[in-house]
């Protein structure tokens, strides 16, 4: 159905979290909105081949590990094995539910959804090329770029080979590998290292840096390194590939330091690029950087005043949670047209879904030491909590960093099962204004017992006992 006669108030390109956040906010304000999605289903990379399927996969693996380790349920000598395809069938059920839910939002808010590839052919005009080769032209007063990102794929590696995967294609893996090389030990690389190791696959993890996830607090990064090592993942730091040779039965990777590795397959997870190459951005006076990303101001506005951008296509923090809020804030900027703007909270929590999880918010010990802030540390080990003993999730700890004099919470770091949930309790107090942000809250409040949340009380008491 052509829409060429209509001048839309705004056109959103992409239906991931950022695009959805913007479209819903604009639609609820009574704007006439069109949303363009290049794929058949809405939801973007986050729903189809990123966050949702990989977390569903991780959940299944965690439960499998739990089952195999439990004497109560698994009384046979042999542990239960599942293939990658078996486990992915669960993830595809989750994707279907998510797609259906997200599609209903657009219908309910009367947003015009158009499928196809969008390209600018004028300041206010897009052409949309459908899969069947037909095209249509639509116009809008304002635009939101929420096109997301894709894995970086260097030209000297043959990604068409059935044994070479990136973080998008890994989810459609057909064969059941005995061994895998994961190149790149960022968030995606470490998550998949723990997933494959949980399935009993031999994992070589190549890190181009000197330590794992260097943006984390050193202690947390060390805990993750130890846990992966203890579970049999072989980690090699400060390595970069010289060549990748894919054969019929294996992949051979040679590093610049002269090491050679062989495995059944390779997962290349080293960096992502913004999806801007098809948009023809010079038409509206924009030039993406070398990573395909566009620059925005505090209002999420690009150098072209009528074009806004959110999510992975603008780079940091490249999180689904942040993208949704960025979309909402961009929409508010578009509606208000003032210099006043909402922006993301300074301290965005990170959730890294390794097995076990990592989550942190605020400052690390290294940053506080560098800035000469007088801080103290409160710790709680999960193995001492009744709830963790009941659930047999004994690995992990909670660490609260607070100011020695004012008792203000400065950072919270958590490693262990459900870390990404636990973090929000501390985040809520940390975001309170002035004197209400205090570690003493956790000592003065009563927690349910037994819970994981009471780790905060234990950690707060531990920290305050250090202050003299």
Determine the average pLDDT of the residues in 267-292: 94
Same domain, 142 and 279: yes
Query: Would you tell me the crossing angle of helices 419-430 and 455-464 to the nearest 10 degrees?
Result: 50
Same domain, 252 and 378: no
Same domain, 265 and 278: no
Compute the distance between CA of residue 51 and CA of residue 188 in angstroms, rounded to an integer.
10
Could you report the per-residue pLDDT of 47-76, keeping only the tens digit for each?
777 788 888 888 888 888 888 877 777 666
How much is the pLDDT for 310? 95
Higher-pLDDT residue of 92 and 403 is 403
Compute the distance between CA of residue 106 and CA of residue 34 in angstroms, rounded to an integer.
10
Same domain, 95 and 44: yes
Q: Which of 252, 270, 288 is the last residue of a domain?
A: 270
In angstroms, the Cα distances linking 80 to 63, 64, 86, 196, 393 are 11, 8, 12, 15, 20
Same domain, 25 and 107: yes
The CATH number that applies at residue 416 is 3.30.390.30
159 part of a folded domain: no
Same domain, 97 and 238: no
Q: pTM of whole model > 0.75?
A: yes
40 part of a folded domain: yes
Same domain, 144 and 34: yes
Total domains in the fold of the chain = 3
306 part of a folded domain: yes
Same domain, 312 and 430: no
288 part of a folded domain: yes
Q: How confident is the model at residue 259 (pLDDT cuts 50, 70, 90)?
A: very high
Q: Which of 214, 236, 270 is the last residue of a domain?
A: 270
The CATH number that applies at residue 232 is 3.50.50.60
259 part of a folded domain: yes
Q: CB of 36 within 8 A of CB of 74? A: no
Could you report the per-residue pLDDT of 425-449, keeping only the tens digit for each?
999 999 999 999 999 999 999 999 9
Compute the distance between CA of residue 293 and CA of residue 300 in angstroms, rounded to an integer.
13
Residue percentage of the chain with pLDDT more than 70: 95
Q: Which of 270, 296, 314 is the last residue of a domain?
A: 270
pLDDT at residue 103 greater than cutoff 70: yes
457 part of a folded domain: yes
Domain that holds residue 77: 7-150+273-336
Same domain, 11 and 137: yes
Q: CB of 411 within 8 A of CB of 217? A: yes
Give the tokens for residue 360. Answer: 């942190």
Could you report the per-residue pLDDT of 319-378, keeping only the tens digit for each?
888 899 999 999 999 998 666 666 666 678 999 999 999 999 999 999 999 999 999 999
Mode of pairing for the β-strands spanning 125-129 and 135-145: antiparallel
Same domain, 323 and 424: no
How much is the pLDDT for 13? 97
Same domain, 120 and 188: no
Sign of dihedral through CA atoms 250, 228, 60, 159?
A: negative
pLDDT at residue 4 greater than cutoff 60: no
Using the CB atoms, write b or e for 82-91: b if 16+ within 10 Å. Answer: bebeebbeeb
Taking CA 280 as the corner, what is the angle to CA 277 and CA 284, rounded to the nearest 5 degrees? 135
Give the tokens for residue 432. Answer: 């309170």
Same domain, 63 and 77: yes
343 part of a folded domain: no
Concatenating the DSSP letter of every residue in 378-426 gives EEEEGGG-HHHHHHT--SEEEEEEEETTT--EEEEEEEETTHHHHHHHH
342 part of a folded domain: no
The mean pLDDT value of the chain amounts to: 91
């Amino acid at each position: 159905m052509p829409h060429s006669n209509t001048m839309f108030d705004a056109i959103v390109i992409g239906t991931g979290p950022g695009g959805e956040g913007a479209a819903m906010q604009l639609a609820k304000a009574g704007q006439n909105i069109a949303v363009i999605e290049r794929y058949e289903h809405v939801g973007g990379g986050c729903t189809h081949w990123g966050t949702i399927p990989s977390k569903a996969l991780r959940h299944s693996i965690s439960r499998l590990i739990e089952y195999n380790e439990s004497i109560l349920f698994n009384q046979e000598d042999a542990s239960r094995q599942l293939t990658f395809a078996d486990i992915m069938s669960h993830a595809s059920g989750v994707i279907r539910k998510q797609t259906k839910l997200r599609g209903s939002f657009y219908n309910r808010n009367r947003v015009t959804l158009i499928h196809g590839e969008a390209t600018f052919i004028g300041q206010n005009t897009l052409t949309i090329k459908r899969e069947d080769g037909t095209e249509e032209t639509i116009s809008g007063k304002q635009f939101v770029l929420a096109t997301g990102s894709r894995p970086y794929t260097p030209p000297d590696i043959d990604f068409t080979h059935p044994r070479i995967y990136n973080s998008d294609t890994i989810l459609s893996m057909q064969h059941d590998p005995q061994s895998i090389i994961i190149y790149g030990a960022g968030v995606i690389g470490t998550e998949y290292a723990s997933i494959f190791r949980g399935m009993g696959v031999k994992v070589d993890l190549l890190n181009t840096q000197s330590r794992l996830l260097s943006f984390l607090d050193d202690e947390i990064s060390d805990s993750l390194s130890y846990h992966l090592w203890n579970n049999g993942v072989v980690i090699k730091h400060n390595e970069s590939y010289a060549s990748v040779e894919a054969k019929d039965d294996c992949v051979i990777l040679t590093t610049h330091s002269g090491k050679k590795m062989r495995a059944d397959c390779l997962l290349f997870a080293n960096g992502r690029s913004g999806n801007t190459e098809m948009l023809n951005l010079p038409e509206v006076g924009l030039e993406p950087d070398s990573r395909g990303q566009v620059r925005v101001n505090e209002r999420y506005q690009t150098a072209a005043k009528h074009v806004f951008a959110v999510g992975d296509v603008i780079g940091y923090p490249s999180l689904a949670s942040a993208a949704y809020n960025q979309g909402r804030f961009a929409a508010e900027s578009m509606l208000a047209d003032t210099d006043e703007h909402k922006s993301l909270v300074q301290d965005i929590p990170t959730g890294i879904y390794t097995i076990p999880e990592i989550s942190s918010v605020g400052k690390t010990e290294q940053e506080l030491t560098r800035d000469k802030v007088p801080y103290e540390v409160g710790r709680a080990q999960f193995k001492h909590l009744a709830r963790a003993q009941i659930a047999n999730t004994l690995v992990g700890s909670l660490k609260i960093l607070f100011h020695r004099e004012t008792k203000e919470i400065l950072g919270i770091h958590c490693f262990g099962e459900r870390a990404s949930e636990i973090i929000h309790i501390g985040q809520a107090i940390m975001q309170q204004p002035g004197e209400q942000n205090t570690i003493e809250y956790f000592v003065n409040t009563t927690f349910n017992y037994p819970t994981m949340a009471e780790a905060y009380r234990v950690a707060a008491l531990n920290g305050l006992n250090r202050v003299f």
